[in-house]
Amino acid sequence: MSNTICPECGTPFTWENALAAYHRGKTNLFEHHWRRRPVRSFVRSFRYALRPARLWREVSLHDQPPVGPLIALAVIATATAMGISIAVHVLSMVILYNVAVPYAFPGQSWAVNTVWGAVRAAAGYPYWMREFATAVTWVVCILASLMLFRQSMRRYRVRNDHIIRAWAYVAPLQLIVFACLWGAMGLAAGPAAIIFNIEIMMDTFNWLFVTPFIVQIVLVTRSMALAYRHYLRMDHAWAVAISAQIIALLATLIVLANITL
């Protein structure tokens, strides 16, 4: 678009930049309001991530993506998800030792009466670290897999920062949903196994956590497909999203196979 002179102040501008500024104020996303309203814009970005069809219709491809705030958004979302996981795991120890175990073994004192006691009890069951590390590795591998479609990116004039924006509002923020679903299952599974005398080994518990992970794979794939269709304006959006997801999952398995937690 050609340059235009503001009739009031005489400042030159382009309609493209003016439209981009309009969209920035309209969406209230973290990338544009992280300085003035960091908490509020983060919460709103998370709410937008839960409604990807609306999000990717409102974000403009012509709006320059600020990579720094987008990476910060991903880091904050990951830290939030990890905080939720730790808090839920500690709470599950409180429920386990103060409710479930006394119910199953009456007359025995297993109570955890302090926060530090619950933390120490939680540290004795570090399986959650492996599960959460798997999810974080998967999120990083999604970004790497999306960067592999270089030919399609050149064809549709999509830059790396556009891909980072699409990824940041999908995978890291959805990690919070995964932490909540995973935590809810953890809170219910352990006490239920003791109260109802169900013989469940640790491997079976691990399989229980596959369920929220599968849910997240479906949600992230759908959100990414909508981002490619409505935001990046690329054909075969679902094919790209599914292919990237398969690559990311295989890469996650390869990485975790070489890491011992």
Among 50, 55, 57, 53, residue whose Cα is nearest residue 31? 55
Model confidence, pTM: 0.78
The type of residue at 13 is: F
- Pairwise CA distance, residues 151 & 166, whole Å: 18
- DSSP E strands in the chain: the ranges are 3-5, 12-14
Query: Is a pLDDT exceeding 60 seen at residue 80?
Result: yes
Among 132, 104, 103, residue whose Cα is nearest residue 199? 104
Q: How far is CA 216 from CA 104, 137, 183, 213, 253, in A?
A: 34, 14, 14, 5, 16
pLDDT of 69-78, one tens digit each? 999 999 999 9
The better pLDDT of the pair 4, 61 is held by 61
77 contact partners, CB below 8 Å, separation of at least 6: 42, 46, 172, 173, 175, 176
pLDDT class of 162 with cuts at 50, 70, 90: very high
Percent of the chain with pLDDT over 90: 39
Q: How far is CA 224 from CA 62, 85, 101, 119, 150, in A?
A: 19, 24, 43, 37, 17
Joined together, the tokens standing for residue 259 give 């890491």
pLDDT of 105-154, one tens digit each? 555 555 555 555 555 555 555 566 777 788 889 999 999 999 999 999 99
**Tokens 């990046």, residue?**
232
pLDDT class of 237 with cuts at 50, 70, 90: very high
- Residues linked to residue 4 through DSSP beta bridges, in sequence order: 13
Can you give the pLDDT at residue 133? 81
